[in-house]
Chains A and B, each alone.
Chain A
């Protein structure tokens, strides 16, 4: 134990040294933008793999202006993020899902920071021969009532449902919006957007759902009730399947963490990075959703 203390002291010394040199050379370069912070420290953010690239990139930009702050961003899944921030092991827990809807998490102790909105669309293999579907049909497919594409106006081909991992934010969002309480049929499950994309694009008759940022030529996104899965439709809630990306802190965010979260909400991040990542800026939303799924007009 003692040895570790010495080691960490040395580390600290090294860190202080780095901070001092960093200060000297860079104090002029922070040009008073919204990202400038007076605080120093180390922030660790853990959780959602989907949110990780955005936070990582934003953290990189933030650190360019604030050499005193060291931010580490890690994946591990929303559940991991929430339980670690609840235990106080990390400063920020990234999550695709409301803390309220995760059993075992005491959401009253956590403070929610919504940093982006992600839309999700059902996707099918190009062979299915369908490009529009009703919400009821979609529900029937995922509950196993409809098992052939010809029943919903497509080719005579068996439907292969590819679901997302149980407990994942993506699945929770989709089931809230589409299944309205019904149980999904037992089927294949995949954890990551990339794998789902690959499976759907290569398996005839496959259906699954993906975040907007993963939609590309290899799969076919479906319109629901003639509404196209676009950012604009999410912003006014015409497209129902969407959720927030959250960054939770334990109690109110303080010092460096607060500054970083403020930066995440600034125009710098929301208007450029968030869009580049395929997310929807939280500033553009005309509606808001609470943890129970009630949608109201944005204030």
Chain B
């Protein structure tokens, strides 16, 4: 009797395993959260130093258009207007994602719904290959192919938002495509069968059923793409022109937050205003991507079909 009671009361091997596995998973997710908190704290503490230590006016920083951290303006305030870079970063990212999404979606639909196994087998490795091309190489191809092309067509120097958009478009394409493919494939087969049973043709099934079901996943793919476009530095730096000017047109030299960050960070001294203000740029970058994430998450929640 006692034996049976013991057996019933002590945990079985499977249960112990279960708890152990669960604990490991919690540990991992805890670790990721710790990492994120750590890096967020780090960037925030550096980024707000501009405002707390150097007493820069936040509004002047966000809305000013004069960037010259080394010198001061007529009122004795440092010239650290970041608006031109914010606008450029924003436009490059949105444009690149806007151009890339239709292409990526078409690729994803093609790979998951239309092409047979053969087409997918060919396309998938090619796309994964593209992710691995270093951004420097994209930058140099952009510099030697795209910039001269734009110069020929639109005049000017060829450097600017348009060149940045084209380079980023190619760079984010594989990210958006492969993540979209994953989310299209995750749509249960039963949905497709149900749609076909109702007499819907292929496009109707894709458009009305599959895309809607996969919408949150596709939006996530777009976020990841935008994130890459947003954070991309080396390639953009080479083709955007790096002039801290309000972009007048798509083909005038401009500067993104990241390109400024990469160009200047090695030349400034830790703890001084020119360095602090770069961290503030990184902070803006962070806030902007946070905003994107929340926005898309909100849209995703509205648009998704309840399971």
Contacts and interface: CB of A to CB of B under 8 A. Distances in A.
Within the complex, are A and B direct neighbours (CB within 8 Å)? yes
Interface string B245-286: 100000001010000001111111111111100000000000
A188 B253 contact: yes
A166 B264 contact: yes
Nearest to B143: A198
Contacts of B157: 160, 188, 203, 206
Given A199-B143, A203-B151, A191 B269 contact: no
B238 A195 contact: yes
A142 to B, nearest CB: 14
B72 to A, nearest CB: 12
Contacts of A206: 157
A102 B272 CA distance: 10
B274 to A, nearest CB: 6
A189 interface: yes
Interface size classification for chain A: 20 to 34
A168 B264 CA distance: 8
Given A104-B272, A160-B157, A190-B242, A166 B70 contact: yes
A77 B265 contact: yes
Contacts of B96: none
A82 B255 CA distance: 26
A105 B159 CA distance: 35
B70 A83 contact: no
Given A189-B242, A198-B143, A203 B266 contact: no
A49 interface: yes
Given A188-B242, A203-B151, A102 B269 contact: yes
B243 interface: yes
Nearest to B159: A188
A83 B267 contact: no
A173 interface: no
Contacts of B243: 186-189
A122 interface: no
B15 to A, nearest CB: 32
Contacts of B269: 79, 82-83, 102-105
B266 A49 contact: yes
A186 B69 CA distance: 13
Interface residues of B, number: 36
A17 B270 CA distance: 37
B64 interface: no
A168 B268 CA distance: 8
Nearest to A80: B266
A102 B243 CA distance: 23
A49 B70 CA distance: 22
A188 B264 contact: no
Interface string B208-226: 0000000000000000000
Interface string A149-185: 0000000000010000111110000000000000100
Contacts of A87: 270
Contacts of A168: 267
Q: Which of A105, A188, A191 has the most CB of B within 10 A?
A: A188
Contact of B267 (A78, A190, A199): A78
B136 to A, nearest CB: 10
B241 to A, nearest CB: 5
Contacts of B270: 79, 83, 87, 104
A195 B143 CA distance: 9
A22 interface: no
A206 B275 CA distance: 29
B158 interface: yes
B147 interface: yes
B176 interface: no
A167 B70 contact: yes
A165 B268 CA distance: 10
B124 interface: no
Nearest to A199: B143
B271 A104 contact: yes
Contacts of B60: none
A202 interface: yes
Contacts of A188: 157, 159, 241-243, 253
B143 A79 contact: no
A202 B271 contact: no
Contacts of A199: 143
A197 B106 CA distance: 40
A76 interface: yes
B9 to A, nearest CB: 38
A28 B253 CA distance: 60
16 contacts: A79-B267, A79-B269, A79-B270, A79-B275, A83-B271, A103-B272, A103-B273, A104-B269, A104-B270, A104-B275, A166-B264, A167-B274, A188-B157, A189-B244, A190-B263, A203-B157
Closest 5 CB pairs of A and B: A77-B266, A104-B272, A167-B267, A104-B269, A83-B270
Given A49-B266, A103-B273, 20 more contacts: A77-B266, A79-B265, A79-B266, A79-B268, A79-B270, A80-B265, A102-B269, A104-B271, A105-B269, A160-B157, A167-B274, A188-B157, A188-B159, A188-B242, A191-B267, A195-B143, A202-B143, A202-B147, A202-B148, A203-B151
Interface of A: 49, 75-80, 82-83, 87, 102-105, 160, 165-169, 183, 186-191, 195, 198-199, 202-203, 206
